[in-house]
């Protein structure tokens, strides 16, 4: 299967590390020009240098700006006036007792995990529709479907993101633009390592801690291990390509079999 994105420009939000960085690298390897996004100039420029060395590609450009704000979104739009591929990866997560989640935390999770994606779609979808080609991909989570008791606010935001995806896919109907969600399962990132340490004995060696986390907190996983970011990126690159032209309005699972469902 050959994926050629050499004529395309991609923007991946929250892409200085973790899943976002893996997706950015995958898109660049497929030939795309990739805008790397983060809140600060320093973190983005460091990520661009790191990704360039990792992939041997000079296709990365810096697009710093806090897209949870209107001004930050405008900064990113100035750096990337048009994008053929938009990957809304930015997100926050964390464990909190259900009854201790404050109003401010509910709002923050909705604003970061949902409204920031909506803001980016509003910026770039019109141009995609005018050019009759585009890909919008929202990185959701198994938590959108299997709401974790220890982070209901996170699950709520990812469920909302599935609704946002379906709605904008209908808005783009018949234009040559596809809009999809990617449901990522428990994935091995630095942030997830910290999260695992919060929930299991922090004195355990990492491999043992990971197994204990999956056994006690994610027993539904058929993979029975954390997913690696590159495994998420492989599907993201495919969904960003011309080969996925008939997939839109969907929620495509890369969850290691975590969601107990026979439907996508």
Does residue 154 have an active-site annotation?
Answer: yes
Confirm if 172 and 248 have CB atoms less than 8 A apart. Answer: yes
Q: Largest alpha-carbon pair distance within the chain?
A: 55
Measured CA to CA, the distance from residue 196 to residue 69 in angstroms comes to: 30
Catalytic residue among 109, 154, 238, 258: 154
* 228 burial via Cβ count (<10 Å: 0-12, 13-18, 19+): middle
Q: Where are the alpha helices (DSSP H) in the chain?
A: 18-29, 41-55, 70-79, 103-110, 116-131, 152-171, 190-199, 206-217, 229-239
How is residue 231 written in tokens? 């495994």
Would you please indicate which residues are annotated as catalytic (active-site) residues? 154
């Amino acid at each position: 299967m050959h994926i050629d994105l050499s004529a395309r420009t991609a923007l991946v939000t929250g892409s200085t590390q973790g899943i976002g960085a893996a997706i950015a690298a995958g898109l660049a390897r497929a030939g795309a020009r990739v805008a790397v996004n983060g809140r600060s100039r320093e973190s983005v420029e460091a990520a661009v240098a790191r990704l360039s060395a990792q992939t041997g590609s000079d296709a990365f450009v810096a697009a710093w700006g806090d897209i949870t704000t209107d001004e930050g979104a405008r900064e990113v739009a100035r750096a990337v006036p048009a994008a053929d591929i938009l990957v809304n990866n930015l997100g926050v997560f964390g464990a909190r007792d259900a009854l201790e989640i404050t109003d401010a935390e509910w709002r923050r999770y909705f604003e970061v995990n949902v409204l920031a994606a909506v803001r980016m779609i509003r910026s770039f979808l019109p141009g995609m529709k005018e050019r009759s080609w585009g890909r919008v991909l929202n990185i959701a989570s198994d938590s959108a479907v299997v709401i974790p008791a220890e982070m209901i606010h996170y699950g709520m935001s990812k469920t909302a993101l599935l609704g946002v995806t379906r709605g904008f896919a209908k808005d783009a109907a018949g234009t040559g633009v596809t809009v999809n969600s990617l449901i990522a399962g428990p994935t091995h990132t630095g942030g997830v390592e910290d999260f695992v340490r919060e929930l299991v004995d922090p004195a355990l060696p990492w491999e043992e801690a990971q197994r204990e986390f999956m056994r006690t907190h994610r027993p539904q996983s058929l993979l029975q291990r954390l997913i690696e970011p590159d495994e998420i990126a492989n599907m993201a690159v495919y969904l960003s390509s011309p080969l996925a032209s008939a997939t839109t309005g969907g929620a495509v699972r890369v969850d290691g079999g975590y969601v107990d469902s026979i439907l996508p």
